[in-house]
Structure 1
Amino acid sequence: MIKIKVSAVPERGFCRCGKRWPHEGAIVSREDFTDEQWAILQAEKMIKLEPVEDEPDKEEPEETATGLSAEEVKAIKDGIAGSESSEILEDETKKAFDASKERLAQLIDVFTQLGPDDMTQSGTPSVKAVEAALGADVTAAEIGEAWTFYQARLEEQTGKNNESGEAE
């Protein structure tokens, strides 16, 4: 498996191919991208790509700023396209949330990287922090709807984890 360090040139990070790339870099596998996505990353001047030697001894799950492992975040994002979550999107969230599923996935990526200082007094991510991390304009309504969806998925994920850990 080919590992690559993807680093954003801007200090605040940079979004491309549905992911926010930190300035410090993120280690990814080439196999995680389609040929089209890989070509986009290679052509992007705001991103640096560096080969990384594989370290098989260090396979600890990466933890996000929310305290979730990378696997848990992936499960939430995968739920966007899953049948149960698609129904929720159609029935509840999609009515008020006009952005695409890709935009929702981008916002979820940003949410996992925000810290307590990036939140408003009401506990939602601030527009300023999300725009800085996303590298694009975003409305408070868009953040609110995406945050509601994200929180529901977190609760759903937490419930599943609690159920599987309970003794009979």
Structure 2
Amino acid sequence: MGKVAMIKIAAVPAAGFHRCGKFFPKSGVIVDPKSFSEEQLERLKDEPMLRVTPASDDDESRAEARAEQIAEGIRSLAAADYQKDGKPKVDALNDLLGDDLGKITASERNGIWDHMLAEDFKAPEPDA
């Protein structure tokens, strides 16, 4: 099997745009089209406030580097920087990395967090 063809979804408005339960910034995000149902994918493609294009190799490299930077940030957070549900606080990540990476969204954090959990990452335990 070959590599999955990723897509780039970018908002037209500078403030970004929500559709299908996801936030899309103007700068765009690289996603696996299989993460959406066929109906959702068609809705995204038909949405005039979004631009859906094939992701270039350069887009994918930048997305992978960004995800790794966010994962490293998550690994460096203290126990107090995690929510009651166990996920890292988005505000803590943005405070740590936002100047370098721009705004990190909850949706972006969730995808990276799910991947880290699948690789057996454990959040730090609070001091007793």
TM-score by length of 2: 0.49
Instruction: Give the structure with the larger helix fraction.
Output: 1
Larger radius of gyration: 1
TM-score by length of 1: 0.39
